[in-house]
Amino acid sequence: MKLTVLGAGCWGLTLTWLLTDNFEKVCVWGRDCDISEELRNKKHTSKPLEIQLKDKVEVTSNLEEAIKDADIILLVVATSGIRDVCQQIAKIGLKDSQVLVNTSKGLELPSLMRMSQVMREELPAANIAVLSGPTLAKEVLMGCPTAASVACENKPEIAEFLQEKLTVPSKFRLYTNDDVVGLEFGGSLKNVIAIASGFADAMKLGDNCRGALLTRGMAEITRVSVALGAKPSTLYGLSGMGDLIATCSSPMSRNFTVGSMLGKGKKIDDILKELGSVAEGVKTSKAVCELAKKLGIEVPISSAIYEAVYTDITPQELLEKLMNRKLRKE
C-alpha cells in the first residue's frame, strides 16, 4: 500500500516519520519553496524540528506523481492552502478507492467553512475523512504515546480502514467516530483558547485561572459547535477536550506560544514573523467571532483573543474587560 502526505511542514513530516513502517510505499509532497535541499537529498530536517526519514520515503514537488496510486492521502497543509491544493487534485483526478484525509485544524476565511466542506466543494466525489486529536509533533517524535479520532461521514467502513492502517502500536492509537462536524470544530476552536492560555501564562495568572479558562473555553467551543451540528460527546472526546488540554498546557503548541507573546505585550505581526510558522488560532479567532455573531451566541474568551490579535488593547485592559463582564449563571 502507498501513503502520500501532502505538506512538508512539521506535522506532515512527523506523520510521515510515524507511519512509514505501516506502508510499502511512502511519499511526501511539498511546494518547491517548502522542500529544503537537506530534506530532498538527505531525508532530514534540522529546523524547527529534527526529523530523519527513512530512505524509502520519496520527497517530491510533483503533485500528480505524489498522489498516483496512493491508497491514503493525508492533507497536512495550512488551512489557507487547502482549497488551492484540492483544486490541483481535481485537475489530476482521484480514483474511487483513494481516501483523502484532512489533518489541518482551522476554518477558511472569509467563507467560515470547515476544511472538509472546502474539500467537498472542490472534490464532490472524493472519499473524505478527518483526523484530529492531541498531537503535539515534538512529543510524537519523542515516541510519547497519544490517541486521536478519525471520522468519515456516512462511510464508517472508511473510518475503520483508516483506523487499522494508521494506528501505530504503543505510539498512536486511533478511535473511529461518525461526527465530522464535531471533530473539525473541536480541533479548530480549541486553538483560540490555547492562545488565551498562553496569554494567561505569560501574565502569571496562576493555575486557578487556567482551570477556569479551559472550562469556560470548552463551554464556548461546545455552544458554537453544537449549534452548527456537532455532537456534545465528540467535543468532550479526543478532538475537543483532549486536544484542548494538550495545547493549552504546552509551550510546544504554536498557539500557546502566540498567546504567551501577546501576554508580554508583543504585536501580532512581530510574533508571526518571529514564529516563522502558521498558528491557526490567529485567523480562527476572527472566524469564530463571525460565526458566533451569526448564531447570536456569546464567546467572550474568543472575542477577547480577537481583540488581542487585531487591536491595540493592552494585556491588563483585556484581562479587566474579561473579568468585569456582567455576572450570569454558569
Enter the DSSP assignment of 178: S
In angstroms, the CA 90 to CA 94 distance is 7
| Closest-CA residue to 178 (of 265, 122, 239) | 239
Q: How far is CA 8 from CA 27, 83, 134, 154, in A?
A: 10, 17, 20, 30
| Closest-CA residue to 18 (of 160, 146, 157) | 146
Active site (annotated) includes residue 42? no
For residue 284, what is its C-alpha cell?
A: 480562527
The active-site residue out of 2, 43, 105, 190 is 190
In angstroms, the CA 285 to CA 150 distance is 25
Q: Is 290 helix (H, G, I), strand (E, B) or coil?
A: helix
Bridge partners, residue 27, by sequence: 4, 58
Longest distance between any two alpha carbons in the chain, whole Å: 60
Report yes or no: 166 and 140 within 8 Å, Cβ to Cβ.
no
Bridge partners, residue 74, by sequence: 5, 101
Helix%, strand%, coil% for the chain, nearest 5: 55, 15, 30
| Closest-CA residue to 3 (of 79, 46, 80, 66) | 66
Active site residues: 190
